[in-house]
Amino acid sequence: MAHFDPNAKPFSHKWLNERLGVDTLKRVLSTEYWIPKNINFLWAMGMVLAATFGVLLISGIFLLMYYVPTTKEAFDSVNYTIMSQVGYGWLWRHVHAVAASVVFLIIYIHMLTGIYYGSYKRGRELIWISGMLLFVAFSAEAFSGYMLPWGQMSYWAGMVITNLFSLGSLNLNGLVEWIRGDYVPGQAFLGRFFMLHVVLIPLFIIGLIVLHFGTLRLPHVNNQDGEEFDFEAEAEKWKAGKKKEAKVIPFNPVFLSKDVFVMGIYFIFFFYLVFYHFEFAMDPVNFDPANGLKTPPHIYPEWYFLWSYEILRPFSKNIGLIAFGFAQVIFFLLPFLDRSPNVAPANRRGIFKIWFWLLVVDMVGLTILGKLPPVGTWTIVGTVFADIFIALWIALPFVTKMEKPIGGK
Amino acid sequence: MSDRRDFMGMALGGFAGLGALGALYAAKRTWDPLPSVKAGGFTTLDLSNVPENTLVVEKWRGKPVLIIKVPKNAKPNSAPNGHNENAYDDKRLVTVGGHKYMIVIGLCTHLGCIPDYFPEKNKFICPCHGGQFNAAGEVLKAPPPSPLVIPPFKITGTKVVLGEEGPEYKKLLAAGVVS
Ligand code: HEM
Ligand code: FES
């Protein structure tokens, strides 16, 4: 089968094609990967995420050159050496911090887009599940990175989060000490979280992104109307030159140019934050070095963890943990809890529309409450919002079961 | 033929499985606390100069240890769970040199923050999720599920050695009030 032209110039198109199948690769992965026409800018969020991950990787590599992962030197290596000695060190740090925060904003938009348009069912279950795995991996990456400057918030967030693993009344203190490598967060803890942050979790993330893209290839992306296409037939129209009639466009170069446009807008916003508003991504409390004998007056996580933290907080220890565990896994089950066959925007799906917007309002509410001190009425309001979150998910199978099927077009 | 191929496969699989188990064990042990950490040492505290109703913070095995010389009247100003008894009468207090002391590990039993002491209210309030304790370390308000933990101690005169189990500690242990 293999046929190699002895006269092909090394590294010429033909030479590469015979050895690597570059034309086939390009066709399958880009020029004949079909994207529906009826989608909007929200479908660019995936590529925005991929680009932001690239930015995190590059800025991280530069930070790595001067960062010292020891409890004695970490704080100064970041706050003194990188920030004031290393040329443009501040730039990498601000880029890294802003990107780590904004990536969650985009992830939430990306997830809510998927929920709104029902992009997690009818062949797209694995896209959703691999996406949730990415969410978990990014959460772990963000948490481990937060430990590295070894400030007060690093230390106490590390203390509180690792204590979750004692699993309430099970009192698995041995497990907690094993995770820390010490009775309290210390050198052993910093060393292993450094390893996780710079090697293991990024490797996982890269693998998961490949998987996420792989799961997209056969079902293709959904569209604004939840319309089911015969992609082959539509593609034939495009290839036959009937570009107006075809309901699809090739990913490359046609759709990619739209992605690039949205990315352009996004990066203007992104660099505006990096240069003029980076402080939102840097907690002032973390500019005090870690001190195991003094808890900061009020401990809260970064904004993107606030909603799940608030589900933990208002309850007693065991119930709080169960509620927290519920919040962490329940999104994975979405494709199976939604019992309606409809793939359509939420606004055409009756009660599901209300369900969707309640979920959004509830999560925004939990996020705001998570930042307020745990006193008086706020505890009560927090309990109500946490209860609503749980109730919404319990109601989902029933709500969607009752939904009337929308006639296929 | 296929028998021999199966055998090769199973032999490789078997050894690889054993190797994986060994590597897993090694990985587990690598994450264990080092012997130097576990040896952890003992801390000796002299309580003779501790002022009354004032929080003293010491360090033992990297953890804060909270000490209060409890005054005769240490009734908390309020107790959301109804247990507003005088902390001075609590069985958890340790008598050293004729005075009663609270000696506890200063990590909230909820998720490990250090509670702040408010002497005028005779109680602790945890900054993280609002848990409260009285001056003997008993819970006055959830989420903390249990009282502050009493570390192993041994009394010698006015001194207390943390990390060693003395007779007074064993008595508390037997009474079930240690943690
Ligand atoms: C940083 C990590 C992520 C990257 C790089 C990424 C990337 C992408 C890309 C490039 C697409 C195709 C274009 C688009 O529809 O936007 C996509 C689609 C999708 N992603 Fe993600 N994604 C990430 C995280 C997530 C998460 C956390 C979820 C939710 C659990 C998720 C769920 C989905 C779904 C359901 C689709 C299909 C959308 C549709 O068919 O219309 N992704 N992703
Ligand atoms: S850690 Fe003290 S109340 Fe949660």
Gap from CA of A46 to ligand 1 centroid (Å): 5
Q: Which residues contact A116 (CB under 8 A, 6 or more apart)?
A: A345, A346, A356
Query: Which one of A230-239, A305-314, B44-53, B59-68 scores highest in mean pLDDT?
Result: A230-239
Q: Which CATH superfamily includes the segment(s) A40-219+241-299?
A: Cytochrome Bc1 Complex; Chain C (1.20.810.10)
Chain A from 293 to 322: CB within 8 A of any B CB = 293-299, 313, 315-318, 320
B2-59 pLDDT, tens digit each? 788 889 889 999 999 999 999 999 889 889 888 877 776 678 888 788 888 888 888 8
pTM, to two decimals: 0.85
Ligand nearest to the CA of B108: 2
Helical H segments across A164-200, by residue range: 173-180, 187-195
Q: Which CATH superfamily includes the segment(s) B39-174?
A: Rieske [2Fe-2S] iron-sulphur domain (2.102.10.10)
- Sorted by where each begins, the domain ranges of chain A are 40-219+241-299, 305-409
Contact between B153 and B162 under an 8 Å Cβ cutoff? The reply is yes
B140 C-beta closer than 6 A to ligand 2: no
User: Which chain B residues are closer than 8 Å to A183 by Cβ?
Assistant: 33, 37, 40, 61-63
State whether B113 and A294 contact (CB < 8 Å): no
Query: Which one of A2-6, A220-224, B48-52, B162-166 scores highest in mean pLDDT?
Result: A220-224
Out of A87-91, A244-248, B14-18, B172-176, pick the least confident. Answer: B172-176
Picking from A177, A317, A375, the nearest residue to B144 by CB comes out as: A317
A153-184 pLDDT, tens digit each? 999 999 888 988 888 677 787 899 899 998 88
The dihedral region occupied by A2, where left means phi > 0, alpha psi between -120 and 50, and beta the remainder, is beta
Question: Angle at Cα B83 formed by Cα B96 and Cα B114, nearest 5°?
Answer: 60
The pLDDT score that the predictor gives to residue A378 is: 82
Give the residue from chain B lying closest to A298, CA to CA: B127
Strands B99-105 and B116-118, by their bridges, are unpaired
Q: Which residues contact B160 (CB under 8 A, 6 or more apart)?
A: B44, B45, B47, B94, B96, B103, B153, B154
Chain A from 119 to 158: CB within 8 A of any B CB = 156
**Residue B30 C-alpha, separation from nearest chain A C-alpha, in angstroms:** 9
* Terminal C-alpha separation, chain A: 45
Ligand 1, pocket residues at CB < 6 Å: A 43, 45-47, 49-50, 53, 107, 110-111, 114, 117, 119-120, 124, 127-128, 131-132, 134-135, 138, 209, 212, 216, 221-222
A49-108 pLDDT, tens digit each? 999 999 999 999 999 999 999 999 999 999 999 999 999 999 999 999 999 999 999 999
Q: Is the pLDDT of residue A241 over 70?
A: yes
Placement of tokens 């006269």 in the chain: A7
Q: Is the pLDDT of residue A1 over 50?
A: yes
Gap from CA of A247 to ligand 1 centroid (Å): 22
The pLDDT score that the predictor gives to residue B41 is: 65
Q: Is the pLDDT of residue A409 over 60?
A: no
A259-304 pLDDT, tens digit each? 999 999 999 999 999 999 999 888 888 888 998 888 887 778 899 9
- Sorted by where each begins, the domain ranges of chain B are 2-32, 39-174
The pLDDT score that the predictor gives to residue A50 is: 96
B123-162 pLDDT, tens digit each? 888 888 888 898 888 888 878 888 888 888 888 888 888 8
| Tally of residues, chain B | 179
Distance between CA B123 and CA A41 in Å, rounded? Answer: 55
Picking from A159, A183, A373, the nearest residue to B61 by CB comes out as: A183
One-letter amino acid identity for A225? D
Query: Which one of A108-122, A319-333, B57-71, B107-121 scores highest in mean pLDDT?
Result: A108-122
Q: Is the pLDDT of residue A144 over 50?
A: yes
Distance between CA A27 and CA A389 in Å, rounded? Answer: 44
Gap from CA of B110 to ligand 1 centroid (Å): 36
Output phi, psi for B156, to 5 deg: -135, 105
